[in-house]
Every structure is written in C-alpha cells, then in structure tokens.
Amino acid sequence: MKVMHVEAGRHLYGGAKQVLHIIDGLNELGVKNVLVCPPRSDIASQVESPTELDEVVMKGDLDIFLVWRLLKSIQKHDPDIVHLHSRRGADVFGGLAAKLAHVPAVLSRRVDNPESVWVSKHKYGMYEHVITISEAIKRVLLSQQVDAEKISCVHSSIVASEFQFPAQRARFKEEFGVSEDAVVIGMIAQLIKRKGHRYLLEVLPTLIKKHPDLQVVIFGQGPLEKELQQHISDSGLNSHVTFAGFRTDLPRWLGCLDLVVHPVDMEGLGVSLLQASAAGVAIVGSNAGGVPEVVRHGENGLIVEPGDTVHLERTIDELLSDPTRRKVMGENGKHIVNSDFSVEKMVVGNLDVYQRVLAKV
C-alpha cells in the first residue's frame, strides 16, 4: 500500500505533528508514504526516508490552480489512496484532484465548526471516508447529514513518554521569570478568540485575591497577542502573567505547571490537553467539542460550561486550594493518555480506514 499525505500547514502545530506520527507509524508497518506539503514548511524538514517528499506551492482557499498541482503530484507518485490532513484549500482542491486522478481520497477533520447541509453534501461527497479526531466532530458531521458509514473517529495522539521527564521547578521559574513561591497556571493555545483567553483573564483578579502568589504562563502565538497584552496592562496584571510564545520544548516545561486551564468556546479535541495529562498536570477545561473526551470530569480534571466565568473562577479556585487532588488527577491523566491516546492506536486506526476504503474500490 502507498499513501499520499497532503498537509498544507507551514508550522509544526498539533495537526502537522499528527501527520508525522502517522507517517512514522505507517513506515514501521511497511506502508509506503508520500508527503505533499508547502515548500520550506516545518514538516518538510522533519520527514525522513523512506518517505517520499513533494513540496508543492499551496496558497490557500482561493488557489484554484492547486487542483492541477496536486493532480500532477498524484500522477507522479501513483498512490493507492490520498489522505488529506488539513484545510487551507488542500481539502477541497485535494478532493477534486483525487477525483480527476481516479484515486480514492480520505479526509481528516480536526475542527468542530458546523457547515451548511448544502456545503456538506457537495464537499464530503468527494471523499470515500472522513476521519474525525473526536466523537464531537463526528456528531457535527452527522448533524449535517453526512453518511454515518463514511465517518470514523480516530483520536489524535502524542508520544506520552516525551512529557514525563520535566525540568526542575527552579529551572522553570528561571526560564519564565516566575517567583520561587508561585502557584502556576498554564494555558497552551493559539492566541485566537475561540480559545477563550479572555475568560481566564476576566477571573484572574478575583483568583489573585485568594491566591496572591498565583501566576499565569501563556504558551502560544496568534493575532490576539497585542490585544491580550494591552488588556493585561490595563488591568494591572503584568506581574502575574507571562507570555511564553510558541515553544518547541514544551515537554521540558509542562510538568512544572500546577494547573492547566483551557476555557475554549470551540475545540476539535485539544492536543495540548493530551500533553498536559501526559505530564501529570490536572486540567480545567470547557464542555466544548472534544475536550470532555480528554478531560474526564472528576478524573484528570474538571469541566465547566464555555463562557461561564463564575463557574470557571470557582473551579480553578477549588483545584488551586487542593494540591493533593491535583496530584491524583495528574496521575489519572497519565493513565488515560497511555491507554486511549497512544500513537500506535492512532496509526492502526488510520490504517484500518485505508484498508476498508481500498477493499471497496
């Protein structure tokens, strides 16, 4: 079997990392792989032999000529199946290219935002199968009248062992300018509206009154950075909040956090939550998208309703005040990740979809 993977992302965020995990796992199982990605993208520098690499210009949702560039790539590499891993035009134009090449296509769906029934009918009709990274996304597609037999949920994964050897706490505090006696909340997410940073910042003054040593480290980058920094400055919170930016060395630091907060409005699954759980950190997350599939309420964290800042403040306070409970939740999180979100399980799940699709064509 030969699989062509199309990934349009230029940075090695969660989705692109999943593609690397899948390719590496399939290589170990003897499956041949081709990676098609933009020139000079981060993932291009990470892929290794025996995977074939084809760097193709991808300009986004309006780049209609991407159909022909992907068609040429398919004809060049002659895969048995095409797996489209991302949007940015690669989903629709990749589906069209596969149709023109008469090669079955599979789409990975990583977001839970709804589309119209009309769009769903025409878009998902191009694919032989759709792989969702959470049951929540699967439910969204079902609500849009996508055929249930064409949808499979295969959860995203992480290499859990990478997050189980954190740096010394003193080194963490030196790196991020956190005081010695601080209790530290981490938030790991792109700086975009749906991630809910504003909710955490809204409750932070009240939490600081109860926990004067509280500090927040925000990992990630995005268009809201200046706006969030201005809000923090206007609120007099500069001494309690640190922006750490996008970090490639998260495995060193996550285990040094006391709590991770993820108050999103929408979320496909939340790879950062898998990372936090693997690192043994308790989580407060939203009842949104696939978050409750990772954060099992009362086991490895607590769930609140999106935008409910009263409940969010109360829940964070509850866990900050109970380090023993946080520790138990952290240990539970390690078990959950190891049993339900392993790379091996994800690779086998994707391979099973390929085999079922090819058996029908």
CATH of the domain at 38: 3.40.50.2000
d(CA 273, CA 309): 20
User: Does 335 share its domain with 350?
Assistant: no
Partners of residue 218 on adjacent β-strands: 187, 243
User: Does 144 share its domain with 176?
Assistant: no
105 pLDDT higher than 80: yes
Range of the domain at 245: 160-340
Instruction: Give the lowest-confidence range in 69-73, 178-182, 233-237, 319-323.
Output: 178-182
pLDDT digits (tens, 9 = 90+) for 8-33: 988 877 788 899 999 999 999 999 99
Mean pLDDT of the chain: 95
User: Does 24 share its domain with 71?
Assistant: yes
Query: What's this model's pTM, rounded to 2 decimal places?
Result: 0.90
Tell me the mean pLDDT in the region 209-219.
97
* Cα separation of the two ends of the chain: 14
Q: Which amino acid is at 287?
A: N
User: Does 83 share its domain with 19?
Assistant: yes
User: Does 217 share its domain with 264?
Assistant: yes
Q: What is the pLDDT of residue 61?
A: 87
User: Does 130 share its domain with 204?
Assistant: no
Residue 258 confidence class, pLDDT cut points 50, 70, 90: very high
Q: What is the pLDDT of residue 119?
A: 83
88 pLDDT higher than 90: no
User: Does 200 share its domain with 167?
Assistant: yes
User: Does 173 share its domain with 293?
Assistant: yes
User: Does 197 share its domain with 278?
Assistant: yes
Tell me the mean pLDDT in the region 187-213.
97
Residue 280 confidence class, pLDDT cut points 50, 70, 90: very high
User: Does 144 share its domain with 216?
Assistant: no
Say how many domains are in the chain: 2
266 pLDDT higher than 90: yes
Q: Which of 34-48, 116-130, 343-357 has the highest mean pLDDT?
A: 343-357
User: Does 349 share its domain with 297?
Assistant: no
278 pLDDT higher than 80: yes
User: Does 9 share its domain with 81?
Assistant: yes
